[in-house]
Copies of this chain bind each other. A is one copy, B any other.
């Protein structure tokens, strides 16, 4: 439990940014979450932008790491991709936070990160394309085709991952749980179909 103040702040920032977005969170909010003043936060991260940047850096590193883990096991490329994608659906609280941050980055980067010129998702997407084109069934497909297929799955996964509160609110807990059960199953089928190759 000996987590440094800096790491505590990063964790708090991750959750708050994922819930309310860059503009919806003040550095005082983040610092308050760990019981300190905003100047304590500024001591560790000189600006709000840098704090946000480190949060994104961390999630992109997480995906990088996850991919390395999957590849290290030395299984069939089909297995690797399937495992990698299904790991994103698992939706632990941390997974949900990452999905939300990813989605916010997609929505906001036109205004924010693009001015900084940093694309935190680049490595992640390129890694995915690489994994798809490594599949025998996709060998003759272009990168664009692989990316399109992967992006559709990514959308299906993350859109849903982010929607829990809304879906619970609209349909109630009971029907949401029913939905959740069939969703993961159907998604598995969708992934399997994609892995099997482009639909000619």
Contacts and interface: CB of A to CB of B under 8 A. Distances in A.
Given A20-B23, A111-B20, A149 B186 contact: yes
Contact of A145 (B159, B182, B199): B182
Copies of this protein, total:
2
Interface of A: 19-24, 100, 103-111, 114, 119, 121-122, 125, 142-145, 147-149, 151-160, 162-163, 165-166, 169-170, 175, 178-179, 181-183, 186-187, 189-190, 193, 198-199
A170 B125 contact: yes
A185 to B, nearest CB: 8
A110 B165 contact: yes
Contacts of A179: 144, 147-148
Nearest to A143: B175
Contacts of A155: 155-160
A127 to B, nearest CB: 12
A151 B163 contact: yes
